[in-house]
Amino acid sequence: MVNQMAAIQGHDNYGRLPDITAPTLVITGKEDGLVPPENSATLTQRIPNADLTILSNASHLFNIELAHTTVDLVTEFTQR
């Protein structure tokens, strides 16, 4: 866990986000206490044509808490 935290703190690709050309879906939980939803909003603003979905009543583990919703969102996104 210590190594993971060190890797997170030392990693910065903020300046490269506008270079992403692939369609991008950003999903976050409104109640995420580990990575604030504002970070996802920043990603969406920086990545061209990115889509943002904020799931209410979900946290950092939104993909487990709202598994069916997450699958539906990703399926819909990939089919576009």
Amino acid present at 55: L
Q: How far is CA 34 from the centre of its chain?
A: 12
Could you report the per-residue pLDDT of 53-72, keeping only the tens digit for each? 999 999 999 999 999 999 99
**Cα(27)–Cα(36) distance, rounded to whole angstroms?**
12
Identify any residues that bridge with 26 across adjacent strands, giving them in sequence order: 52
Assigned domain for 2 exists? no
The answer to whether residue 41 sits within a structural domain is: yes
For residue 57, tell me if it sits in a domain.
Answer: yes
10 part of a folded domain: no
Query: Could you tell me if residue 35 is inside a domain?
Result: yes
In a domain, 1, yes or no: no
- How far is Cα of residue 57 from the mean position of the Cα atoms in its chain? 16
| Contact call for residues 79 and 33 (beta carbons, < 8 A) | no
Domain annotation covers residue 36: yes
Share of the chain above pLDDT 90, in %: 86
Band of the pLDDT at 37, cuts 50, 70, 90?
A: very high
The pTM (predicted TM-score) of the whole model is: 0.85
SS3 of 21, please?
A: coil
21: in domain = no
Instruction: Work out how many domains the chain is built from and give that number.
Output: 1
Q: How far is CA 76 from the centre of its chain?
A: 16
